[in-house]
Homo-oligomer: A and B are copies of this chain.
Amino acid sequence: MSRRPRSAFPSPDHDHRGCSASAIARAETLCASRKLRFTAIRRAVLKAVWQSHSPVGAYDILAKLNAKGADHAPMAVYRALDFLLENGFIHRISSQNAFIGCPHPETEHDSQLLICRRCGTVAEIDSAPVTRALKAAAPGFAIEQRTIEISGVCPHCRSGAHA
């Protein structure tokens, strides 16, 4: 069975409920197997992050939570974000002070984020050649963390209206 080469970018008209639901279900499973507590607020924050494929700010998340009648303080959100970051369920986008769901939290991985400035969609890739090239470019330097955020225009926006 052949697969079409999938772009890292989700189609603009894909059914997003599936992404969100699947991400949350997988987080649930992973937390169970790792003996981590997937509490209500952590779930709610993860769900808010997954409300789209665009970066979501901490205070957007807070507003979303509180719109449902809750009255959380920023700390609550930041703590949940810390948990989700530490366990690989989300990534931070430093250049935007925002967060995005990780599409494959099952395994540790490098990631390079492609951010469309037109539609806001973020795609995550993990290119071994990029990682190798970086390592080779920094001889003698012991790499620990990478922040790689590339912005530009995604394939869908390029092929659509050029307005």
Contact = CB atoms under 8 A, between A and B. Distances in A.
A142 interface: yes
A7 interface: yes
A134 interface: yes
Interface residues of A, number: 37
Contacts of A133: 127, 129-130, 132-133
B142 A152 contact: yes
B117 A127 contact: no
A91 to B, nearest CB: 12
A17 interface: no
Contacts of A141: 9, 114, 116, 123, 150, 152-155
Chain A contact residues: over half helix, strand or loop, or mixed? mixed
Nearest to A5: B139
Contacts of A158: 140, 142
A136 B132 CA distance: 13
Contact of A152 (B95, B125, B143): B143
Interface in A56-104: 94-95
A39 interface: no
A28 interface: no
Given A112-B137, A114-B141, A94 B147 contact: yes
Ordered nearest first, which 9 A-B pairs have the shortest CB separation?
A127-B137, A140-B155, A94-B94, A144-B152, A147-B149, A129-B133, A133-B133, A142-B153, A130-B133
12 contacts: A9-B141, A125-B138, A127-B134, A130-B133, A138-B150, A138-B152, A140-B154, A141-B150, A141-B152, A141-B154, A142-B158, A147-B149
